[in-house]
Structure 1
Amino acid sequence: MTFRLLDTLYADQVMAGIWSEHATVASWLEVEAGLATAQATIGLIDADDARAISEICRPGLIDHEQLWKAARVVGYPILPLTRQIAAALPPGAAGRVHYGATTQDIMDTGLALQLGRSCDRLLELARIFGDALSRLTTEHAGTVMAARTHAQQAVPTTFGAKLGGFLAELADEVAELRRAGEAVRVVSLFGAGGTNAAMGPQAPAVRQELARLLDLRDSSVSWHVSRHRVARFGATCATLAATCVRFAREVIDLSRTEIAEVREQDGHHRGASSTMPQKANPVLSESVVGFGVAATTAAGSLLRAMEAGHERSAGEWQIEWLMVPAVAEHAASALFLAGEAAATLRVFPDVMRANLQRDGGLLMSEALMMRLAPSLGQAGAHDLVYAAALEARRTGADLTEVVRRELRATGPGAPDLQLSVDQYVGEAPSMAHAAVDQWRKLKEEGQE
């Protein structure tokens, strides 16, 4: 097995299992057994032959070393796989293995099974992440903190509103993942050139029965070189992974020593440095970034796999062999770690409130401007508060006092300038609650 450090430390083992050597070969065997059963049901082959084939199509009966040795010569694994199956059968049944099918039929139908299972696992991980975000969003709907634009304090918001943005984003992606999960569960049984001529007039009925046996959808049009569903699966994984990365970067940034508004979970030597005893690095979030960026990068390759020409690819298919497992596994690992980070996140509301005053109250500049705008006009109010902000930052004076002094000097009566950060969060709390409601409804729909 290839050693990859990040996988060894943090990979989602369930998804890794879906794309393991054992599971991949098992999926092909499941299709071969299903094909024989479907053909017997339709009357294309004998029922006893089908039963014999099904009994042999078990992973433990396959010599993997010999399979890969022969596949390296052929370039594809199904010919040597079916030869191993046939070699273990009596002459009659041996001649009905892989009857009328082509390599890509077996591999693509096996791929559909693995993609469907991958979507199920991603949905499970997304629910864990979303539930953790939902709890935090509810708890901190009214927890006031500084919103930051261009990495600088902007106006007051709430931590719940910030988290609600991630939760609403994730809800949209889960809805898309459900659609992708339905789209990828499609049987492939179209024969050598996509016409399914080898099975004769019974071909559609065999394909329909195979789809039923494997709990897949039928398609009346060959998709040997139509890889849009696979690419869409990759794109869905990529957007999920990108959301995880955005969340992780927020945790990393808010846990900076100079900000210190959140922190990953405590633990002996968690995030420790080999030389700086004080360090507690955000290692979960850092690993989310690693997995998430790898997932989005791999997903782009699947668009190139869509370029296959004629009725069979010449290299584009091999892109999928590398990148589909990578996309699924990296996205799952990012989701797994993001869920853990969210579920164990430590939040410090007192630090958030203290940070609101770190710039001398300047994050209330917009609030002051809008309080003055009715009498001065927005442009006039902006100019006055802008000059006051420069003065306050230069001298360290309180912004509101500088504005009052400027108003007294210019003559117009000053409106009430007593402004509270708690009263200038706009729709932030309601946005947090709306995101939680959206998530709850999405989960209820998924249980129907």
Structure 2
Amino acid sequence: MTSEPSEPLDDRTNADRTESAGHTDDAGLLSPGRAGSAAEAATADAAFLRAMLDAEAALVHAQAAVGLAPEAAADAITAVAATAERFDVRDVALRARSEGNPVPPLVADLTAAVDDEDTRAGRNADTAQYVHRGATSQDIVDTAMMLVAARTVPVILADLDRTADALAALATAHRTTPAAGRTVTQHAAPTTFGLKAAGWLSSVRAARTRLAAVRLPAQLGGEAGTLAAFAPDDITVDGAPGKTSTAASCEPVYDLTGPLDTTLESPPEPLPDYPPATGPVPEGDSEPGVGVDPAPDEPIYDLPGAAPNNSAEAATESRGAPGTGTGTTTEAAGPSAGPEADTGVRLLAAYADRLRLAEPTLPWHTLRTPVADLGSALAFTAGALGKVAADVLVLSRTEIGEVAEARGGGPATPPHRRTPVRAALIAAAARQAPALASVLLGALVAEDERPAGPWQAEWQPLRELLRLTGGAARDAAELAHGLRVFPDRMRDNLALTHGVLSAERLARALTPAVGRARARELLAAAERLAAGAGIPLAQALTETDPAVAELIGEERMRALTDPAGYTGSAPAFVDRALAEHDADANAEAGAGAGAETGAEAEAEQPPADTPEPPR
């Protein structure tokens, strides 16, 4: 999209106007998983509009920081941009159809509002010329997406921390609680519920680490990613600028559309002759190279008066004497100054700093790694929470009944049922997330310096990923904190297989006495008898070969067939997961304390004259 804004459109149909008047924002009727969540509020249309206005205000402040705009203009535009309620979100959305994105109509409204404020305040200034100056629509939308993400991700991280703490408590409480291990839907060797909870904890911690590590950069590249519109050696044009209510480029708008004056009685006088050059002619190419002044016999035109000047004088006057800082252009920094001295680089740094976003190495209009990284981390997080939900859905079935949610449905749910509502919503989010992330990964294949299609395809999937993952994290925290665990039911379920889960353990105990082959033969026969007659494995082994049973002994037989004694290293693994969680939590607490100290120090500084945009 070009950086030119659209005029307010008057060609909407009556249906459009009726739709605009009666429209309400998406209330989440079909998305109960994210309805009412903090992530939903942080990603609403109004939040995106707020972020775009913040980006526009930060752009002017960044230009002021590098000397490309007056501070007064930055303050005035920021004051208008801070009143987001004055802009009609639905109207902007409908007018966005004209140019394919919401920035042009928003810039048109912001420019008009700044003009109105100038008039109301009696300022004889064209402040609005600095609105959106030099930027392109993608700069603002991309930056707004990163701002919205930066305001939503901390909410998700906080809920992940709450979830992890609750899961750690479950793992601690049930470190040795025996439960049936299940492989390919069938009972297998025993495990502990604490190990299952520790596995959930490990996945959630991994998701949090990935999401917290995602870098969210600002976007500023101009039309083709070069920031050429902000180059300090652009030739400026003297003269009074025209009305800028529809301007969004880096230069004032001049009215050159009027009719030509054809009433001149005589043609203009011809240009005067110029004397030939008197100095030696330098050898070299016939065309002047980059950075080479025109030859002495080539006139330089003063654009306002369209009259030729002597080249040597004009060059000095136009560029300014070395070291004086005067003239209409400024010499670019030399190669030895390094890239950090470049105006565009400094502008990008000031812009990112103002927004408190990461500073990118270069514009990323078609280098969509930041969006793909964020989408992948969100999908991973939704999947990690989905694993918890999937296990809870299985374990809370009526015939299993090993866990239950604290709130098993609403008033319409029968008393005997505990519907796992939170788990169902989390599982629904986890199943949607991969498809949404795939759109963002597909957008990595973006052509040229700015793409048509891949960029626009990202907007809705990214927002939906933020919403779904945010809602899932909220629900996971509620689920984990309220999860009810029934150890007695776990032991009852272990008994359903009559101790055959311990057959391998019994075989190992018998091998030294009767040999490996005979031990396997005996246990296979005992398992068949136990399953067929519905009797415990120990009793079946005794009936199969009383001598062998006597060899083992009744007390040892009971111990060998007790599932609680056959959980292997499960308790040790739980301890490892808990230690890792504690270490991560302590590190995060230390980092948070450092951030709070920095914030307190910043708060002690005198207030800035310029109000910052809302964060």
Is 1:443 the counterpart of 2:467? The answer is no
Partners of 1:387 and 1:314 lie apart in 2 by 70
1:27 Cα deviation from its structure 2 partner: 0.6
Distance 1:379 1:46, change over 3 A: farther
Partners of 2:418 and 2:489 lie apart in 1 by 18
Runs of 4+ in structure 1 deviating by more than 6 angstroms, as ranges, are 409-412
Q: Residue 155 of structure 1 aligns to a residue in which SS?
A: strand
Give the gaps of 5 or more residues in structure 1: none
Residue pair 2:207, 2:384 contacting (<8 A) in 1 also: no
Is 1:133 the counterpart of 2:167? The answer is yes
Distance 1:382 1:92, change over 3 A: farther
Residue pair 1:371, 1:417 contacting (<8 A) in 2 also: no
Partner of 2:572: 430
Partner of 1:68: 93
Correspondences of 1:24-173 after superposition (within 5 Å): 24-58=48-82, 59-88=84-113, 89=115, 90=118, 92-173=126-207
Partner of 1:175: 209
Partner of 2:224: 193
TM-score by length of 2: 0.68
Partners of 2:411 and 2:571 lie apart in 1 by 33
Is 1:278 the counterpart of 2:312? The answer is no
The answer to which of 148-157 and 21-30 deviates more is 148-157
Partners of 1:292 and 1:256 lie apart in 2 by 20
Distance 1:306 1:373, change over 3 A: farther
Distance 1:376 1:165, change over 3 A: farther
Residue pair 1:296, 1:327 contacting (<8 A) in 2 also: no
Q: Residue 195 of structure 1 aligns to a residue in which SS?
A: coil
Greater radius of gyration (CA): 2
Residue pair 1:407, 1:413 contacting (<8 A) in 2 also: no
Residue pair 2:422, 2:479 contacting (<8 A) in 1 also: yes
Partner of 1:300: 438
Distance 1:37 1:380, change over 3 A: farther
1:193 Cα deviation from its structure 2 partner: 0.8
CA RMSD of aligned residues (A): 2.3
2:47 to 13, 20, 23: 23
Partner of 1:261: 402
The answer to which of 427-436 and 13-22 deviates more is 427-436
Distance 1:359 1:410, change over 3 A: closer
Partners of 2:514 and 2:184 lie apart in 1 by 28
Residue pair 2:60, 2:69 contacting (<8 A) in 1 also: yes
Distance 1:160 1:412, change over 3 A: closer
Give 2:586's aligned amino acid.
E
The answer to which of 402-411 and 188-197 deviates more is 402-411
Partner of 1:342: 480
> Percent identity between the aligned chains?
32
Distance 1:198 1:10, change over 3 A: closer
Give 2:106's aligned amino acid.
L
The answer to which of 114-123 and 339-348 deviates more is 114-123
Distance 1:225 1:49, change over 3 A: same
* Structure richer in helix, relative to its length: 1
Partner of 2:18: none
Residue pair 1:141, 1:161 contacting (<8 A) in 2 also: yes
Give the gaps of 5 or more residues in structure 2: 1-24, 119-124, 232-341, 592-615
Residue pair 2:429, 2:468 contacting (<8 A) in 1 also: yes
Residue pair 2:103, 2:137 contacting (<8 A) in 1 also: yes
Residue pair 1:364, 1:421 contacting (<8 A) in 2 also: yes
Give 1:97's aligned amino acid.
V
Pairs aligned (count):
442
- Superposed CA deviations along residues 103-141 of structure 1, whole A, max 9, x for unmatched, are 111111111111222221111110111111111111111
Distance 1:119 1:392, change over 3 A: same
Q: Residue 153 of structure 1 aligns to a residue in which SS?
A: strand
